[in-house]
Amino acid sequence: MELLVFGHAGARVIVFPTSMGRFFQWEDTGMIGALGEPLENGHIQVFCVDSVDGESWYNKQIHPADRARRHIQYDRYLLNEVLPFTTTHNANSYLMTTGTSFGAYHAVNFAFRYPQLVNRVVDVGPYIDQKVWVNMANVTQGPAGNQGAGLRKSLAAKGRKLPLLGNDDETANRQFTKTFALGRDHIRGQAHGLDYAEYFHHIPPDDSGVDEYVSKNSVPL
């Protein structure tokens, strides 16, 4: 199978293309150009691999078990051929995987299967925005739903407002969800240089911090 290599040193980064994409996708779409500085400075070396999605998970003409078997063959190719190839070109022990769309699935799946080999996985996608909308859709219970619009309305009745909540209900609900419902994700992301990061965790009942935030940040209308 074909692949492309960019950079000369630094952390090794295995890049997966999107659904049924090819190894040259990141170069064609400008992603490699966007990484020009860290590549030139030797911070990372990128290995863009090919996919077999059309022969595995997206091959609707074969039995699901056969799709899984083809993916296992791909996984073994990554483990037994691509990884040794990367270490032949670069002795740096730090390994990252990344991708967008279905490529992000491959990046995460490989990292979870071999946590002893992968130091970091980067899911390039709008996952947090999707999580915001899902939380907003849950209007019957939980820390999001329409609570942003409700808070905006109650503050207006008192002659106050939160600039965070904007000027309409949708913005209020979205900002409320990102700030309070996903507050833990934001804190965890900062520890890793990201806006948001999600851990596997149990969420116990506790104070969301809404009242404290309102008292410090609400301003007259």
Same-domain check for residues 83 and 156:
no
Which pLDDT tens digit goes with each residue over 121-146? 888 776 677 788 888 888 777 778 89
Same-domain check for residues 85 and 51:
yes
Identify the domain containing residue 23 by its residue range. Answer: 3-124
Task: Using a cut of 0.85, tell me whether the model's pTM lies above it.
Answer: no
What total number of domains does the chain contain?
2
pLDDT at 3 over 90: yes
Same-domain check for residues 29 and 99:
yes
Q: Residue 76 is part of a domain; what is its CATH number? A: 3.40.50.1820
Of 124, 147, 164, the one marking the end of a domain is: 124
Same-domain check for residues 184 and 86:
no
Q: What angle do CA 81, 41, 88 make, to 5 degrees?
A: 20
Q: Tell me the three state secondary structure of residue 111.
A: helix
Measured distance CA(159)–CA(177) in Å, rounded = 23
> Do the bridges between strand 95-100 and strand 160-161 make them parallel or antiparallel, or are there none, so unpaired?
unpaired
Same-domain check for residues 33 and 118:
yes
Same-domain check for residues 29 and 54:
yes
Of 109, 124, 139, the one marking the end of a domain is: 124
Of 85, 101, 124, the one marking the end of a domain is: 124
Measured distance CA(85)–CA(87) in Å, rounded = 6
Measured distance CA(56)–CA(171) in Å, rounded = 41
pLDDT at 214 over 90: no
Same-domain check for residues 69 and 147:
no
Same-domain check for residues 51 and 104:
yes
Which pLDDT tens digit goes with each residue over 95-119? 999 998 889 889 989 999 999 999 9
